[in-house]
Structure formats: C-alpha cells, structure tokens
Structure 1
Amino acid sequence: MGTIATSFKAKKVHLINERYQIQEKLGEGSFGVVFNGLDTKKNERVAIKLEVRTGSLLAKEWHTYKLLRNAVGFPKVRWFGQIMPFYDVIVMDLLGKNLGELFRECGNRFSIKTVLILADQMISRLEYLHNMNIVHRDIKPENFVMGLGNTRNTLYLVDFGLSKRFRDSYTNQHISFRDGKNLTGTARYASINTHQGIEATRRDELESVGYVMIYFLRGSLPWQGITKKLCKKQRHTKIGEIKRDMKLDDLCRQCPKELIRYISYCRNLEFTEKPDYTSLRQMFRDLLKNLGHEYNYDYEWSEKGSGNSYLSTFPCNYNKDVVTWL
C-alpha cells in the first residue's frame, strides 16, 4: 500500500475537485492511505483517503458515511470521486489521534475513569450504527478516533471498508445464520463466534468492545504474542481457543466485576437478538459514579497535557493551480 504514497512524491498534481490539497501522509491500513489535507476554499483541514481502484471498498465506505452523516461521532464526508484515473478518493473531516496511539502515549494503560467514559461512547456509536442496519466488523482501538477543537472530547468511529448490512432497511429482515466463514476484522478483538466462523452480528461488535476495554485496563490481552511460527489461520484458531477456554474471572482479573457481566451478556446474546444498549451504558455510568468520578471528559491524555491538537498547526503549501506533494 506504500506504493500509493510513493507514487505521489515529487509530483505536481491539480487540486482534487479543484479545492482539496494533499499534504503529509498520516497513516495507512490494509486498503488505503490517509493524508492530511487542506480545503483551499474554506481554509480548513481535512483528511483525504486514497485507494487503488481494484475493488469497491472505498465506494462502499462512502455510502456508509452518507447514511451516518447526521449522527454524532461519525466523520462527515465532503467529497468522493476518482483521480489519475486509478484511485478512489474520499475527503472527510480531519480528526485527532486514534485510541491505539493515545494508549501507547499513556504508557499502555488507561485509568478506569477514561475507559468507562470511552465505553459509554463506544456503545453509543455501535447502537446508532446498528440502528442503521450496519455492522462495522473491525472493532479495535485504531478505529476509534478523538475529535479536534470543539469536538476534542467526542469519540468517533471510523473505517467502514469491512462494514456490512445485517438487516434489510425496508423489511427489517435479519440476515440468515451462516457459519464456515473466514475471520473478518482483527483477531485480537474478534468475538468467539467470529473465530468459529459464524457470521458477525450486533452481539459480536459489543463483545469486541469488551476486549478493547480489558486491553485498556490491563495493558495487554492473554492471547497476545501467539508464536509467529504459526500461519495466520493457525494463529486465529489458537487465539479463538484461548478466548473460549479462559475463565472470565481470569480474563477480567484486575478489572471491575462489571466487565465480567458485560462479556457474559454479549456472549449469551442470540444471533438476531437486539442488545440492551441502554442498560449496558447505564451499568458503566453507575460504576463511574460509584467510584467517585464525574463524567467530565477528563481523559488520561488530558491530564498528561498531550491533548489532541497535534494536527492544528500544519504548514500550508497552497498554490491555486498545483499541489507540491511532500
């Protein structure tokens, strides 16, 4: 995927859609590269994601973002199209750091207060997404991102390249049970059912949030570090076996008992069953209050003074006719 970024070096290219300038590379995933950019007409920072047009993942992601455009905690898409002519491009609101980055900056451990406030928002994002008949299918810290400026306290859910409809939006007919599927998403946070080849639905996303919470509280998960001598499929199988065989008391050691209740609840949901999002959020809000904390967005990184403003002062190399690629 690095060839996308490399192919633009030392080139001069017309502005995307005559207004969006690509600047520094911010990161890349399995399917695309994300750049810091500038909306030259509004003089606002944007994120620009490029993908080689070998599939329809970015177009699919664009359609998902359109469905979510009026919701809190989902970035707004400003433009989608093609350039050069082999790349799909999506331009959206620029956000801050993802939770994986912030976790590492905080010494691979979040406080219980930070985790509970994040959990409340993670569950809310999934509730809205599921109400729109979509499952994300790759819940992990890197796909939860903090906002910038006035939205710096808001948690965003991003990257819908693997998302899928689990229910018909007109008939409300749920997809049928299927097994024998390959694991989709990130094995570290995948549900036991997903490891067993069962189609992912709402219950599996919430179970994944539980593993993210445990990871943040403990600093690691017991199935990390599976030997690299195993092939990918063997590693996935081994991780699934550890998740299935480990007692929840051991998995949630050093975590509040509410995590045991949460994971147990998610694992016992039926394939088509709607989770009780409200009760799950309330359980964690009650725990926050009982521990003597306020829901005031005083995150771990806020206390350390790192903030989320690291993208707010990028230099602009704007020329109305061309972009100099860095």
Structure 2
Amino acid sequence: MSCSIHQPWPLCSYLTPPQKLSVSSSNPKFHNRVRCTLIESLAEANPSSTVEPLLLRAVRGETVQRPPVWLMRQAGRYMKSYRELCEKYPMFRERSENVELAVRISLQPWKSFKPDGVKNEAAVLGFVGAPFTLASYVIEGGSSKHFAKIKQMAFQSPKVLHALLKIFAESMVKYIQYQADSGAQVVQIFDSWATELSPVDFEEFSLPYLKHIVDSVKRTHPSLPLILYASGSGGLLERLYLSGVDVISLDWKVDMTEARKRLGENVAVQGNVDPGALFGSKDFIKKRIYDTVAKAGRNKHILNLGHGVLVGTPEENVAHFFEVAKGITY
C-alpha cells in the first residue's frame, strides 16, 4: 500500500513532549481540525530544570550557545518507521484524526534523532494556515500552478474574496488561541501561496489579514512568539515584516546575509538550508549548516531548512543534520 503525508496546509502541529499537552480524544474539534506533529526544538546540553526551551530564548534575543533547530516535515515519508505505520493505517485521515496515531507519528523523529531530552528541553510549536493560502485551496479545489481561479475572484469580485478572507482570519485567531491555551509555546503561520501575489496584491489580499491575526493574538497572548513562513518570499520580505510577527522563516532561495540586512535586527529569522542539501554528502551537509549559521549570526536565529524535508531524503542524513546542529558552539 502507498501512503502520503502530503496535506494542503498544516492546520495544527504540536512540538511537545507527550506529558506537556493533553487534548481530550472526545473533543470533536480536535478530531476534525488538529494534526499533531512533534517538531523538536533542541536545547543546549545540561540545562537547568528552570530554564525555558532554547527556541524561546533565541527568539527573544537572549544570549544562547547555539541556534535551536527543528525541521519542517521532519515526520514523514522519508522515515522507515512512518512508512511501516502507513502500511497498517493507509488512510491519511485515520492517521491525522486519531489522537494516539498522531502522537505516535509525532514521536517518531523525536526517538530517532535523539535530541537532548524532554521537559524544558523542547518547545511546543503549533501550526496554522494563513487566510489567503486557505482561501486558495478552497477556491482552486487543491494545489494550483497559476492560481487563476482565486485571482479571477480577487480582480473581478474582490468583496467576495475579502469576505472569505475575513472569515478565515477570525477562525485562525481563535485557532491559535486554542493551541496556545492547549500548550503551544510558539505558532508558525504558513502563507504558502501568498507569494503568488504581486506586491500590491499581497498588500490587499494577504497582509491585512496577517496583521489582524497577529494583533488579535498578541492582545490575548502577548508573549506567544509567532513565525511566518511563505515559500518564495524573497520579493516580499519587507512586507512580511510588516505583519508584526516575531520570526520570518526564509526559504533557501534567499541569501541569509541579504535577508538579515533587509529585515533588520528587530525580527528573528528561521532557516534556511536548501532541503536538497540533505541528498549531499555528510561533509556537504555540514558545510551548508555552518554557512547558514555564520550568515545568520549569533542573535535571533532558528536553524531549519528553507522548506520541508523532501520525500526520499536519506534518514541518516537527517540524523546527521541534527547531530551537526547540536554540536555548534557560537
């Protein structure tokens, strides 16, 4: 049987030691809307029990010994243990809507890559889709090459699209608040398809709704860091910053040094190693990690890929990525 972890957008994923988040399996909203995925943010060695996770400290600009690290799509088809589980549970909805299975999948990379531990050594991450990206999937009926349908609506019936975007924005505010109240310590917003918009259209159909989400969440959860990721966002970096998020996640098509200069020192950055680098030799992977960390600097950087782990990536290379990352000392 074949299996797929692909999904249009990650509505909610939790990076958590299992004891830190408890969600009732009888909650229908959880079954219908939540996919739990463990996304470990590795902490420094031998932290005291009172020290917060490395990721949170790095985002705030505190002095840390190395960058925190996690990988988008680090639980998935490249892992043998996941493929074996897919053979037993071939339906994606079964794997994503069953709490026990979702937790089991979430823990696979945690167990495989031997991070520094649990308790305060890991951060809890939640995920949501941004309004324009959610609207794109609804209007296009799935992924798209040219996004002609949603652009037709944007340019012919903008009031209709704005009404839909407003609904999604309000829903995502509530969803982020729900995740934070359930234990999420950081939330990443995916606006995967907003980069299909021109800058002027991004300012009309994406940015206002991102700002609304950020402003609304900060009123109720002022200390909750928010990360924004949009693939292919090199032409929109300054506009992404205007959303008010705490972290801009960069894809690999942007030079980290240039991105730092364009964004300034007040916002943290995440990324941005090319996912394809994990097909290279171990020495090559190490060089790319060191290059990225050197360009990002010591302040406010989360080490990650510029996109998710690709299908077919050697599992041992992912393990090597974490090993190298955890061995870095500023």
TM-score (norm 2): 0.28
Larger Rg: 1
Richer in strand (by share): 1
